[in-house]
A and B are shown apart, each in its own frame.
Chain A
Amino acid sequence: MSDNITLGKALNHGLRRSLEGNAKVVVMGEDVGKLGGVFRITDGLQKDFGEDRVIDTPLAEAGIVGTAVGLAIRGYRPVCEIQFDGFVYPAYNQIVTQVAKMSYRSRGKVRLPIVIRIPFAGGIGAVEHHSESPEAYFAHTPGLKVVTCSNPADAYTMIQQAIASDDPVVFFEPKRRYWEKGDVDLAADLSGAYPLHKSRVVRPGTDATVIAYGPMVRTALDAAAAAAEDGRNLEVIDLRSLSPIDYEPVYESVKRTGRAVVVHEAPGNIGLGAEIAARVTEHCFYSLEAPVLRVTGYDIPYPAARVEEEYLPDLDRVLDAVDRSFGW
């Protein structure tokens, strides 16, 4: 029995389920209480679980993550909300020097089961600092796990899996997809769920492999649908986990198709696409018909809202890259 709900609502249900299932889970962040978060992802949770478990914090991101570290040492499982991607940097010190390294520093004796939720990426017509894709900073840091969901069903299970994990997890939420609907089985438990750190083929195909994550999965699927009208059969892979990346389905796919296009909103320079291209080249060298191509944001600060459509990878840019791959 499935419900047709938005990605945002699916996250809300997932958080609720985690709060119900484990008394040590606490949600903390700016405006997460009475307001329910600026995107309403925590809507109604404080009313039902109280101010001690859904905590409106002072306006201080380093404080949110730093106190979460202490709560985790004490045995809690904090779920931190950073209000927007561009506001995570005050907490970056705590995330990189403390959250990421505590297990290593203590030789596994201190675990920090912290989830840091970050609405990320653009496409909502926002002002500066509200549309960034900082995932590479975190994926580059050993000790952190980094995931992102692309649809409501994954949002519902992945947030619960992240909270249940003893690893610190940075959980990127594709904010422009918060309102997109999909079928979610709210009654399902995690026992049979698709593993958190596995990538997934979301559209099988034979001619080229398009690798995407978060908000760009929808873009890649749209591009594949358009390509199908032209007789090209694209395979689309949703990475889901950005650290670690589950490469096996990617290699398997590229060895079949011989062509790969990586899509992300973040600037291309030193981005995840570069790492993926290097790995695919190393593992699929003799199968490649063309170099691995990237469709990414340009190497500029996120631009003003009136030009973001031109900045963001879209259906046409993905198809253009596929064309270039075939023209090689």
Chain B
Amino acid sequence: MANGESEVGADAPAGGFVQLLTPEGERVDSVTTADGTTYSVDFTDEEYRGLYRDLVTVRRLDSEALALQRQGELGLWASLLGQEAAQVGSGRALRSQDMAFPTYREHGVLYTRGIDPIMPFGLFRGVDQGGWDANEHKFNGYTIVIGAQTLHATGYAMGVTMDGKTGSPDGEAVIAYFGDGATSQGEVNEAFVWSGVFNAPIVFFCQNNQYAISEPLERQTRIPLYRRATGFGFPGVRIDGNDVLASYAVTRSALDRARQGEGPTLIEAYTYRMGAHTSSDDPTRYRIASEVESWKAKDPISRLKAFLAKQKIGDDDFFDEVDEAAKQLALDLRERVLAMPDPQPVTMFDHVYPNGSPDLDEQRRQFTDYQASFEGSGH
């Protein structure tokens, strides 16, 4: 709740959260938080179906990616399983002019930006380090050093203000993604300080998925994360991170606040990482099956499906068609990932410096000569 304590949702943690769709698929018309802000959504049937399609699609692509990793086609995969609603809701809340700064898990946000889902696969397959243009896609490179991107987002947001692009409904806003573990980083706390001091048009979107690899939330904080915002002088709101409607409504409101020049907001999306931290992790070493089971009952997709069915917004034909379309997208993605060429080794010397470097030119030449020395030798 926005600095409040009102309980919303039977499954809410102490202190409550904004929930517009219960795990059983019941709509809550609106939620008013302690600071008087009312959150709601006003979606058409088509828009509801669109959100459902997004959720199913990003989950299906994610499972395909994990399969590719298990088959040795990716070096690593960071699964978003369980966090689809947080990502799709917040991602769909962005307007086209807004800029997003992801971690390495925001494949769902990437998808909602209209970006080809293959874009981050070069990174996970090991053929490049990302390699995309942040400005072209309004989506910064995946940032692996925990929390570093929150400062980049803050600086970018300061630039938005300096460019005079706030203070109107068409203004620009910035969203920075990070996790519960990142909130312990000094740089994230510096980002909070700076964005507050400079009234930066930014939304800090924390996906609290309860674990930083193996360490539970209690190892990062002794108060709910959203309440940290108070100390930095801006609002903090906790949402049901498995509720795509709450994620959309609260993020949209916070972004609009930012673009109007009203400064930062911290959103804590209370969710759960259903899978491992990455494909290299073994969560059975640090959490119990019953906990995972209890979160399955709060699944973001099944609740929206239940709602659509009850409201007769979606029927079995629709659900089947969505599954089939997602499957086709996943198979297409698989084909294209497998077809990704390995880079030419000599390209490792490229782009170290925008203006090049005579030293590296010399090393590239030596490398090329050395490689050429094996030609015809049977190596």
Which residues of chain A have a CB within 8 Å of any CB of chain B? Answer: 26, 52, 57-58, 60, 62-63, 65-76, 78, 90, 93-94, 97-98, 101-111, 142-143, 145, 165-167, 244-246
Contacts and interface: CB of A to CB of B under 8 A. Distances in A.
Contacts of A244: 357-359
16 contacts: A60-B194, A62-B190, A66-B191, A67-B151, A70-B152, A71-B155, A90-B186, A98-B148, A102-B141, A103-B351, A104-B351, A106-B129, A106-B131, A108-B350, A109-B132, A166-B354
Given A62-B187, A62-B190, A70 B351 contact: no
Nearest to A145: B353
B47 interface: no
Contacts of A57: 194
A63 to B, nearest CB: 4
B160 interface: yes
Contacts of A94: 148, 151, 187
A15 B317 CA distance: 66
A145 B129 CA distance: 21
A70 B134 CA distance: 11
Identify the 3 closest CB pairs spanning chains A and B, nearest first. A70-B155, A66-B151, A67-B155
Given A63-B151, A66-B154, A76-B159, A58 B133 contact: no
Contacts of B157: 70
Contacts of B131: 105-107, 109
B129 A93 contact: no
A110 B129 CA distance: 13
B145 interface: yes
A246 B359 CA distance: 9
Contacts of B290: none
B339 interface: no
A75 to B, nearest CB: 7
A184 to B, nearest CB: 26
Contacts of B159: 70-71, 74-76
B201 to A, nearest CB: 12
A26 B186 CA distance: 24
A70 B133 contact: no
Contacts of B355: 165-167
A106 B151 contact: no
B148 A93 contact: yes
A107 B128 CA distance: 8
B197 interface: yes
A58 B160 CA distance: 19
Contacts of B148: 66, 93-94, 97-98
Contacts of B128: 107
A72 B140 CA distance: 12
A303 to B, nearest CB: 29
Given A60-B190, A106-B131, A106-B133, A70 B354 contact: no
Interface in B181-211: 186-187, 190-191, 193-194, 197
A73 B352 contact: no
A247 to B, nearest CB: 9
B145 A143 contact: no
B352 A74 contact: no
A276 to B, nearest CB: 13
Contact of B134 (A73, A76, A165): A73
Contacts of A26: 162
B155 A66 contact: yes
B133 A109 contact: yes
Nearest to B123: A105
Contacts of B141: 102, 105-106, 110
B153 interface: yes
Given A75-B159, A167-B355, 7 more contacts: A26-B162, A62-B151, A63-B194, A66-B155, A67-B194, A102-B141, A167-B353
A57 B154 CA distance: 13
A23 to B, nearest CB: 10
Interface string B324-354: 0000000000000000000000000011111
A143 B193 contact: no
A167 B351 CA distance: 11
Contacts of B145: 93, 97-98
B158 A71 contact: yes
B75 interface: no
B135 interface: yes
Interface in B126-183: 128-136, 140-141, 143, 145, 148, 150-160, 162-163
Contacts of A97: 145, 148
Of the candidates B135, B160, B350, B351, the one having the most CB atoms from chain A within 10 angstroms of its own CB is B351
Contacts of A145: 353
Nearest to A144: B353
Contact of B351 (A52, A69, A107): A107
Contacts of A52: 162
Contacts of A70: 101, 151-159
Contacts of A74: 155-156, 159-160, 163
Nearest to B131: A107
Of the candidates A66, A98, A165, the one having the most CB atoms from chain B within 10 angstroms of its own CB is A66
Contact of A68 (B129, B135, B155, B353): B155
A104 B129 contact: yes
A108 B351 contact: yes
Contacts of A93: 145, 148, 187
Given A68-B155, A73-B156, A104-B129, A167 B354 contact: yes
B193 A60 contact: yes
Given A103-B353, A103-B354, A104-B352, A67 B154 contact: yes
A67 B154 CA distance: 6
Contacts of A75: 159
A76 B135 CA distance: 13
A307 B216 CA distance: 50
Of the candidates A70, A94, A97, the one having the most CB atoms from chain B within 10 angstroms of its own CB is A70
Interface string B106-142: 0000000000000000000000111111111000110
B134 A143 contact: no
A94 B150 CA distance: 11
A58 B193 contact: yes
Nearest to B193: A58
Given A66-B154, A74-B156, A98-B148, A58 B134 contact: no
